Structure 1
Amino acid sequence: MAVSTMSSDIPPYQVQPLISTILDIHENSDDPFSVEVKCVQALGSEIYVGCSNGDILLFALQTNGPHQPESYTLVSRQVLPTGKAVEEIVLTPCISKALILSDRQIFFFVIPSLELVSSIKPIRNVMAFAVDHQHIARPMPSVDSPMPILPVDFCVVKRTGIVLYSLRESLSWIKDIPLQGGAFLARRTGLCLCIADREQYTLINLDAVTATPILPISQVPPEPGMRPHRPMSLVVAEEEFLILSWTGTGTMGVFINLNGDPVRGTLQWPSHPLSICLEYPYVTALLSDQTIQVHNVESQEIVQEVPAPPLPSANEASLKVLLAAERRALTMSPSGFLVPWQQQPDKQRLVKVNLLGRCAEPGGREVIPNVAGKT
């Protein structure tokens, strides 16, 4: 069998372009160069791209022949009814749905066909929304699995409150929670919601309906004429968030539990990241100079720094388009995506594995060598 060498000279990430350009897709439009990638999500060997003109593009990994590497090919294209920019895409593979935010509305699509679910009306007046991360992580249903398909819970933040929904084949309202001022960012795990307004992060217990202020987005007053720093947060584990706060000389990443207490150590960046993503145990950040820094969640140390790649623009989607989620080998994970890499076979070697005999006692050491022709 072939396994990864796990050698220390193989970095956690290999940077390579997966989709070279979307301009060719829009070459017949009035101004193809005005179309930009606004958000990206990946699932297995599929990449979903949201564009500034309301297009939703699905790319899938295709085999080009025995002597050519695999590459991503456009297999589906849909246009939102709004014709406005696609601001966020959230994939829920366990119910084969995609929640797509555009023009303060959430639309529901079937994946991978990208058919609009016309039986569910769009949710309007949305400032932010958050799907329960524990439900996003559920695996796709299997034909052979007897497990029932469970609904997916999510929150919608509006200007005067938070609305809780449950989604499967239809949309069900759960309850409303009053909230003044709304929020511009929301992340959820279980019954805990982390939101951010213009000034600070707040934890909300959706069961007890309590709010706990946590940390300011910026710990120093903004400089005149400078845009305020964007709030950024990730769900790290079932009971843990990572939130980013500008200190005046850099950005600090703080790990907090569901009570708002700090855990682990902190992460440090020299500037406020343009985008961050998590492929446990790595937190990857795209900085303003387009440098990519990779931290290890467990040690909080920088384990890789990639020089500025030749990006067309340093927008939020650049990180997920260009980072090949190669955890030391060609891999696929529920939150990652499949990446073709020509060098990957060179990083593998044959390994002899010893097998326990069928008659071995639990914890016993009776060993049968792995010899050709024997199992």
Structure 2
Amino acid sequence: MFVMKDRLFYTKEIPLPSGALLAKRVGKSMCIADKQHYSIVDLENASLFPVLPLSQAYDEVPFVVKPSITVISPNEFLIVSWTGASSLGLFITSEGDPVRGTLEWPSHPESLNLDYPHITSLLPNGTIEIHNVETQSIVQVIGAPVSSPSPSKSTSPTKPSSGHTRSTSSGSASKSIEPPPAKRLGIISSVGGYLVPSVQNSDKMKRVPFKLIRTPLA
């Protein structure tokens, strides 16, 4: 472990037998996730103990269960575990003890973001769910984005034949190009709200010309 001051200072060695895919720190404790478990690391004593498996399902999981750790307060984490039928969000202290109740999602969230007292999650189908941290209840559900309508096929006037025909290697010129389906990629925190990438609002990101205010030099 290193401490950052004017430069990096080596302090101690903390063994991580299974490595770490994700880590979040509050005070003297750090919550980490490897490929199988969430664990709490005591940075002062250089000790580690497992808290919860990433997946509690008995059968083989047909997708990769991504670890998720969210810092709720200076002494609290939120970790998410797949149960086989749904995903549960467990609030734990920096010592690994459970607090509050639990959150539940019908599928494993792609990403989570905290704007206390609300936790916003993006599900694999593009749905956004907002829970209240204090009551663990769902506050709002935003449906998945609707795919943009495909452009209408353009028809060009047929030119009269001169008696000779030229075949093309493919008929791609007569086919319309289907737009990619709308998809939310993730959620990131923003001042006073959230930024949710969506192709539905791409028209609002177009460049707009504006005039500069020119004042004569004194």
Q: State TM-score, norm by structure 1.
A: 0.40
Letter in 2 for 1:258: S
2:95 aligned residue: 259
CA contact (8 A) 2:13 2:46 kept: no
CA shift digits 1:167-211 (9 cap, x unpaired): 244322222212212111111111101111111111111112222
Matches within 5 A, 1:155-194: 164-194=1-31
Residue aligned with 2:13, SS? strand
* Aligned counterparts of 1:183 and 1:227: Cα–Cα separation in 2: 19
Letter in 2 for 1:301: S
Letter in 1 for 2:38: Y
2:192 aligned residue: 326
* Aligned counterparts of 1:306 and 1:278: Cα–Cα separation in 2: 16
Matches within 5 A, 1:224-243: 226-243=62-79
CA contact (8 A) 1:222 1:228 kept: no
1:285 aligned residue: 121
How far residue 222 of structure 1 moved from its aligned partner, in angstroms, is: 4.7
Please identify the structure whose Cα radius of gyration is greater: 2
Unaligned 5+ segments in structure 2 are 147-180, 196-218
CA contact (8 A) 1:291 1:306 kept: yes
Higher strand share: 1
Residue aligned with 2:12, SS? strand
Letter in 1 for 2:192: E
Letter in 1 for 2:79: I
How far residue 275 of structure 1 moved from its aligned partner, in angstroms, is: 0.5
Matches within 5 A, 1:1-375: 164-223=1-60, 226-309=62-145, 312-315=182-185, 318-320=186-188, 326=192
Residue aligned with 1:177, SS? coil
* Aligned counterparts of 1:324 and 1:166: Cα–Cα separation in 2: 29
2:198 aligned residue: none
Identity %: 42
1:349 aligned residue: none
Residue aligned with 2:14, SS? strand
CA contact (8 A) 2:145 2:182 kept: no
Residue aligned with 2:145, SS? coil
CA shift digits 1:21-49 (9 cap, x unpaired): xxxxxxxxxxxxxxxxxxxxxxxxxxxxx
| Distance of aligned partners of 1:233 and 1:222 in 2 relative to their CA distance in 1, 3 Å threshold | farther
Residue aligned with 2:64, SS? coil
Letter in 2 for 1:170: R
Letter in 2 for 1:261: D
Residue aligned with 1:204, SS? strand
Letter in 1 for 2:9: S
Letter in 2 for 1:285: S
* Aligned counterparts of 1:194 and 1:277: Cα–Cα separation in 2: 17
Residue aligned with 1:208, SS? coil
Where relative contact order (Cα < 8 A, 6+ residues apart) is larger, the structure is 1
CA contact (8 A) 2:86 2:108 kept: yes
| Distance of aligned partners of 1:261 and 1:284 in 2 relative to their CA distance in 1, 3 Å threshold | same
CA contact (8 A) 2:3 2:11 kept: yes
Name the stretch that deviates more: 227-236 or 264-273: 227-236
* Aligned counterparts of 2:63 and 2:83: Cα–Cα separation in 1: 15
CA contact (8 A) 2:29 2:95 kept: no
Letter in 2 for 1:178: P
CA shift digits 1:222-251 (9 cap, x unpaired): 536x23311111111111110101111110
Q: State TM-score, norm by structure 2.
A: 0.67
Letter in 2 for 1:298: E
* Aligned counterparts of 2:182 and 2:8: Cα–Cα separation in 1: 39
